[in-house]
Amino acid sequence: MICSCSYITSLGGKEAHMNERTGIVTMKGNPLTLVGNEVNVGDAAPEFEVVSNDLSTVGFSSFRGKVCIISSVPSLDTPVCDTETRRFNDEAARLSPDVVLLTVSMDLPFAQKRWCGAAGVTRVQTLSDHRDASFGTSYGVLVKELRLLARAVFVVDRNGIIQYVQLVKEITQEPDYDAVVTAVSKLV
Q: Does domain 37-185 have CATH number 3.20.20.10?
A: no
Interhelix angle for 79-92 vs 109-119, to 10°? 60
Has residue 10 got a pLDDT over 70?
A: no
Has residue 183 got a pLDDT over 90?
A: yes
Cα gap 31→98, rounded to integer Å: 37
Contacts of 176 (CB under 8 A, 6+ apart): 166
Give the burial string for 55-94 (b: 16+ CB within 10 Å, else e): eeebebeebeeebbbbbbbbbbebebbbebbebbbebbee
Tell me what the mean pLDDT of segment 60-64 comes to: 95
Tell me what the mean pLDDT of segment 137-164 comes to: 97
**CA-to-CA separations, 124 to 3, 146, 158, 184, in angstroms, rounded:** 34, 25, 18, 15
Percent over 70 (pLDDT), the chain:
91
Poorest-confidence range of 10-14, 32-36, 164-168? 10-14
**CA-to-CA separations, 48 to 14, 24, 57, in angstroms, rounded:** 14, 23, 10
Pairwise pLDDT comparison (7 vs 44), residue with the higher score: 44
Has residue 3 got a pLDDT over 50?
A: no
pLDDT band at 18 (very low <50, low <70, confident <90, very high): confident
Query: What residues are labeled active site?
Result: 81
Has residue 146 got a pLDDT over 90?
A: yes
Tell me what the mean pLDDT of segment 117-129 comes to: 95
pLDDT band at 7 (very low <50, low <70, confident <90, very high): very low
Mean residue pLDDT of the chain comes to 91
Percent over 90 (pLDDT), the chain:
87
User: Could you state, in order of their start, the residue ranges of all structural domains in the chain?
Assistant: 37-185
